[in-house]
Amino acid sequence: MNTHELDLLENAIDSLAEALAKFEEGDGGEPKAFKFAVLHMAHFVELVFKHHIASKHPLLIYKEPFSAKVDRNKTITLWDAINFINNEAADTVSPALKKDLEWLKRLRNEIEHHKFKMEVPEVRTTIGRLFRSVIEFLEKYTDIELESLIPEQTMETFQVLSNEYEFKLRTALKEAEEFEAANPPDHHDPDALPARLDCENCGNPTLVKNENSSTGYRCLVCDNEEGENIPANCDICGVSSTQGELDVWELDDGRYEYRCYYCSGRYHADKDD
């Protein structure tokens, strides 16, 4: 008979690998996969904190380590572990991390014991933030080299989740693609505006239409609202153009207006030359 056995840390890493795989599925367009990413991530977090406690003494993960006979079927909870860690040094597990752990605990309990409602963008963002916080804790307070333990097939997702900018960029690219797909151009309207453009500030194709922007566009990565490629109209004759092709004129009242090649006077000046 085959036996599959994992120690505490191996069990934690196994759950993390499953969480990363399910996160990748969810990121690839299968929202229900995030449900299993939540469950596996919660299991990883609980086990890795227990491992940290056990590294101080293996009996400390049990409910009553000082009893005459230790019941090895009753282990401490995640919150027991967190309280132990913070009693050693206040706020080692930060209030922000504890808040995310509360969120994870609540959603896991709803998934396991009741009906649940999962806002996918919130789940995705919080898992990413929680993951980076746990990694920071492990790097600062343990000797666990987590990256060396990650299976190759989930390494890319691990690296994206680990890097806040890369995570934000991947999120923005996904949102920009979804926005563009939901707002296809009207090919019968020659003046139809593109749903998204390349952002000239950060270089990503994440500049999307935004009604709250002064230019009608805002980048999902860097919040830039400017760019020579942004569609604009001449304020004099109304011709369609781009910001880069129009001249900006300051008016007497301090306002600005766009003027095309003809309305700016450049046509006549070039003609006279």
pLDDT tens figures, 101-143: 888 888 888 887 776 676 777 888 888 888 899 998 999 988 8
pLDDT for position 6: 52
DSSP helix/strand/coil, 65: coil
pLDDT for position 73: 86
Query: What's at 44, amino acid-wise?
Result: F
Instruction: State percent of the chain over pLDDT 90.
Output: 33
Count of other CB atoms within 10 angstroms of residue 46: 22
Kindly state the tokens that stand for 206: 């994440």
pLDDT for position 262: 84
Positive or negative, the Cα torsion across 52, 15, 117, 180?
positive
pLDDT for position 192: 81
Domain range annotation of the chain: 8-162, 188-272
Count of other CB atoms within 10 angstroms of residue 253: 5
Work out the pLDDT band at 3, boundaries 50, 70, 90: very low
Closest by alpha carbon to 34, among 118, 157, 134, 112?
118
Kindly state the tokens that stand for 251: 């008016």
Q: Which residue has the tokens 């390349």?
A: 198
Instruction: State percent of the chain over pLDDT 70.
Output: 94
Q: What is the mean pLDDT of the chain?
A: 86
Work out the pLDDT band at 30, boundaries 50, 70, 90: confident
Decide the pairing of beta strands 217-219 and 207-209. antiparallel
86 versus 272: the higher-pLDDT residue is: 86
Query: What CA–CA distances, in Å, run from 181 to 167, 195, 203?
Result: 21, 9, 20
pLDDT at 252 over 90: no
CA distance 118 to 23: 14
Count of other CB atoms within 10 angstroms of residue 47: 25
pLDDT for position 1: 43
Q: What is the pLDDT of residues 33-43, one digit of tens each?
A: 988 999 999 99
Cβ–Cβ < 8 Å for 238, 191: no
pLDDT at 4 over 50: no
pLDDT for position 64: 87
Cβ–Cβ < 8 Å for 64, 71: yes
Cβ–Cβ < 8 Å for 54, 70: no
Fold of 188-272: Herpes Virus-1 (3.30.40)
Query: What's at 77, amino acid-wise?
Result: T
pLDDT for position 109: 83
Work out the pLDDT band at 265, boundaries 50, 70, 90: confident
pLDDT for position 5: 44
pTM of this prediction?
0.73
Q: What is the pLDDT of residues 75-102, one digit of tens each?
A: 899 999 999 999 988 888 888 888 888 8
Work out the pLDDT band at 224, boundaries 50, 70, 90: very high
